[in-house]
Chain A
Amino acid sequence: MGSTSEQYDALVSGGYEHGFVSEIDTEIIPPGLSEDVIRFISSRKAEPEWVLEYRLKAYRHWLTMTPPHWASVHYPPIDHDAISYFAAPRKKPTLNSLDEVDPELLATYEKLGIPLEEQKALAGVAVDAVFDSVSVATTFRENLAEAGVIFCSISEAAQDHPDLLREYLGSVVPHTDNYYAALNAAVFTDGTFVYIPKGVRCPMELSTYFRINAQNTGQFERTLIIAEEGSHVSYLEGCTAPMRDENQLHAAVVELVAMKDAQIKYSTVQNWYPGDANGKGGIYNFVTKRGDCRGDRSKISWTQVETGSAITWKYPSCLLRGDDSVGEFYSVAVTRGRQQADTGTKMIHIGRNTRSTIVSKGISAAQGKQAYRGLVRMAQRAENARNHTQCDSLLIGDRCAAHTYPYIEVKNPTAKVEHEATTSKIGDDQLFYCRSRGISEEDAVSLIVNGFCKEIFNELPMEFAVEAQKLLAISLEGAVG
């Protein structure tokens, strides 16, 4: 047991240099994956039989698949046998006070304007009685329950709403979809389940609650949001505070289902720890996110602001099945240092009169590398479908790179596709113009970059838009040499 607990400690505690108090569940399993491990996970969570079956089916399929390879993203192969797939309910190691937290981290929290108590929660400092996170959470749940909104973890949903879960889990991203979706379906640790009943506009943005528990994001998260006819919901994932995680591999799956006249807005603001100056220790973020516009006139919007992350591979997509359904994708990605981002979206037009809008803004600085990879597919039956895509890259400095790989496949002549991409840099004359008006060079960069990203920020829920702007400013600090 001795060596295993050391391994476990190493896994759990990497990143925190100073002494800490840890409360670690004594049940540990050795690294590696097998049917036994999956049964163990399932029994620990006391899952119904069908969930176990689902996991096993996915695992068996995963064994037949090979990991994908993307030409423009470089990373060392992931050794699945070296990862431990079950860590007992993760209690982050707690520190005794903010003094023990990395001062740089604190400085960032300050710049982002995060309130002190939240800083403590985020940094893993034991939260004192004044800020009762549990009672805050309880109030939110009460508001939601009144409206009939179900908002709980996947594990709870398996117990309390098994029929709903069973009907929709895996219906948008089947376990056969791709390598990491299969892995996720086999070993998903937990995640979020949201159900909005007919005609209900979710009374609050499902963000605030989530923020408090943001630090508990696991490696293999699963999110499922179901919006019934005529309902609306806005869900916010992520955190502007730098997310450190000792787990390198994140393979999440997000499924959204929008019925007739329903609208789901899914926003992500992520600031992953990018690794050290050589890119070591950064997080590999492989996510499969898909929205199914099942009903007529349904709408799904993906908005994301991403900075950091050693490697991001995610393509939020929309299946536009319902007639008159709408898919949107708004994204700002900032890469710096040795970060690599390969991201984009897929809009699959199937129904009639469907519309999709893609606005992707990439900002590369220093040696950051960005690739936009998008697919717009108009099926044969997609009468009158419309797509407008705008991909713009802003390059800062001469060592960075921006790539655009749009795939456009059209099988219907009444469909209309418009795609434009531009590349620019922050011009010397633009900088001089601002400076000659009294604005410092750094502020000028900020002004221009914000102008560049404006369309995207306008899509974010307000509080996040403000934070996102700050995040952008910090990410680009010192970028213009």
Chain B
Amino acid sequence: MLLSIKNLTAEVEGKPILQGVDLDVRPGEVHAIMGPNGSGKSTLAHVLAGRDGYDVTGGEVLFEGQDLIALEPEERASRGLFLAFQYPVELPGVNNTHFLKEALNAQRKSRGEPELDSVAFLKLVREKIKLVSMNPELLKRQVNTGFSGGEKKRNEILQMAVFEPKLAVLDETDSGLDIDALRTVSEGVNALRSPDRAVILVTHYQRLLDYIEPDFVHVLAGGRIVRSGDKTLAKELEEKGYGWLADEEAA
């Protein structure tokens, strides 16, 4: 089991958001987590990444059998967890390529792997850029500074390609994207699918799932997963809306 979440409760600034989440993810699987606004989707993503201000109040999260919550964000990254931000952060003056190399080498060092020198790294990053069909121009620029919404999301996927995580959590990757950008980003994600890698897609709209087909779909509402199913569940939600689930619950 790659990721095992049991009865997870969490608060943000003292307000309880997650009220007992259970989720199991195995390598190679793609899980979609959908839900109305305020249901806790982003909270779940940030709790997994270890953001300050998101406090776990109960339950457990095991990553490859080890307690994830006890680890610092850098350590989680080294172990193979990657969060694609909903709002990727700008780092003015920091060159994109340099940033990628520093991060990759920090992770490798942490794992006891040899670090890559500039030449080897450049080779690697060029391959990855091709793999995810992105514009090499992105490499020359400063991290996310002056990037359009689509470029920022694409940059996140490029990072995913370079770091080769075991578990990638994509937080509302489709938000703010037009059809073309959505397609490019989805192609990138699909190119990175592998039996060793799991992906959790956090999304509000079903649209993304037309491009990245999930194996499992879960609905998060009121801080809990209230329904799980396969991709047809997503279709039902699209037709009937989130309110339908609430009615069904009541019934």
Contacts and interface: CB of A to CB of B under 8 A. Distances in A.
- Tell me if chain B binds chain A: yes
Interface of A: 427-430, 432-441, 443, 447-448, 450-455
A434 B52 contact: no
Contacts of B107: 437-438
Nearest to A452: B93
Contact of B91 (A438, A441, A443, A451): A451
Given A432-B89, A434-B103, A436-B76, 18 more contacts: A428-B52, A432-B49, A433-B85, A433-B91, A434-B91, A435-B77, A436-B50, A436-B83, A438-B74, A438-B77, A438-B110, A438-B163, A440-B74, A443-B102, A448-B94, A450-B93, A451-B91, A454-B93
B99 A447 contact: yes
Contacts of B110: 438
Given A438-B163, A447-B99, A451-B142, A432 B93 contact: no
Nearest to B93: A451
A437 B52 CA distance: 15
Q: Which of A451, A452, A453 gathers most chain B CB within 10 Å? A: A451
A438 B89 contact: no
Contacts of A437: 77, 99, 103, 106-107, 159, 163
A322 to B, nearest CB: 33
B59 interface: no
> Which of A432, A433, A448 has the most chain B CB within a 10 Å cutoff?
A433
Nearest to B98: A447
A441 B75 CA distance: 11
Contacts of B49: 432, 436
Nearest to A449: B93
Contacts of A428: 52
Contacts, number: 75
Contact of B102 (A429, A430, A439): A439
B73 A436 contact: yes
Contact of B51 (A430, A432, A441, A454): A432
A433 B89 contact: yes
29 contacts: A428-B52, A430-B91, A432-B51, A432-B52, A432-B73, A432-B89, A433-B85, A433-B88, A433-B89, A434-B91, A434-B103, A435-B72, A435-B74, A437-B77, A437-B106, A437-B107, A437-B163, A438-B78, A438-B104, A438-B107, A440-B74, A440-B106, A447-B94, A448-B91, A451-B92, A451-B93, A451-B94, A451-B142, A452-B92
Interface in B91-120: 91-95, 99, 102-104, 106-107, 110
A144 to B, nearest CB: 35
Interface in B35-94: 49-52, 72-74, 76-78, 82-83, 85, 88-94
Nearest to B76: A436
A440 B74 CA distance: 6
Nearest to A440: B74
Contacts of B95: 451
Which of A437, A443, A450 has the most chain B CB atoms inside 10 A of its CB?
Answer: A437
Nearest to A427: B89
A433 to B, nearest CB: 4
B102 A447 contact: yes
Nearest to B108: A438
Q: Give the contact-size bracket for chain B.
A: 20 to 34
B77 A443 contact: no
A447 B88 CA distance: 17
A256 to B, nearest CB: 29
Nearest to A451: B93
Nearest to B159: A437
**Closest 5 A/B residue pairs (Cβ):** A451-B93, A451-B94, A438-B107, A438-B77, A435-B73
B55 to A, nearest CB: 15
Contacts of A439: 74, 102-103, 106
Interface in B158-208: 159, 163
Nearest to A432: B51
A438 B50 CA distance: 12
A426 to B, nearest CB: 10
Contacts of A455: 93
A434 B91 CA distance: 9
Contact of A447 (B51, B77, B91): B91
B94 A438 contact: no
B89 A430 contact: yes
Contacts of A434: 91, 99, 103
A447 B163 CA distance: 19
A399 B91 CA distance: 24
A469 to B, nearest CB: 12
A436 B86 CA distance: 14
B251 to A, nearest CB: 41
A158 to B, nearest CB: 46
A454 B94 CA distance: 8
Contacts of A432: 49, 51-52, 73, 89
A308 B107 CA distance: 33
Greatest chain A CB density within 10 A among B77, B83, B93, B95 is at: B93
Nearest to B81: A436
Contacts of A451: 91-95, 142
A450 B142 CA distance: 12
A443 B106 contact: yes
A454 B91 CA distance: 12
A451 B110 CA distance: 24
A316 B159 CA distance: 43
Nearest to A453: B93
Contacts of B76: 436
Contacts of A429: 89
A432 B88 CA distance: 11
Contacts of A443: 102, 106
Contacts of B94: 447-448, 450-451
B76 to A, nearest CB: 7
Contacts of B73: 432, 435-436
Interface string B136-175: 0000001000000000000000010001000000000000
Interface string B204-238: 00000000000000000000000000000000000
A143 B163 CA distance: 50
Contacts of A450: 93-94
Nearest to A433: B89
A441 B77 CA distance: 13
A330 to B, nearest CB: 14
A440 B76 CA distance: 11
Contacts of A454: 93
A435 B52 CA distance: 12
Nearest to A447: B94
A362 to B, nearest CB: 15
Nearest to A361: B93
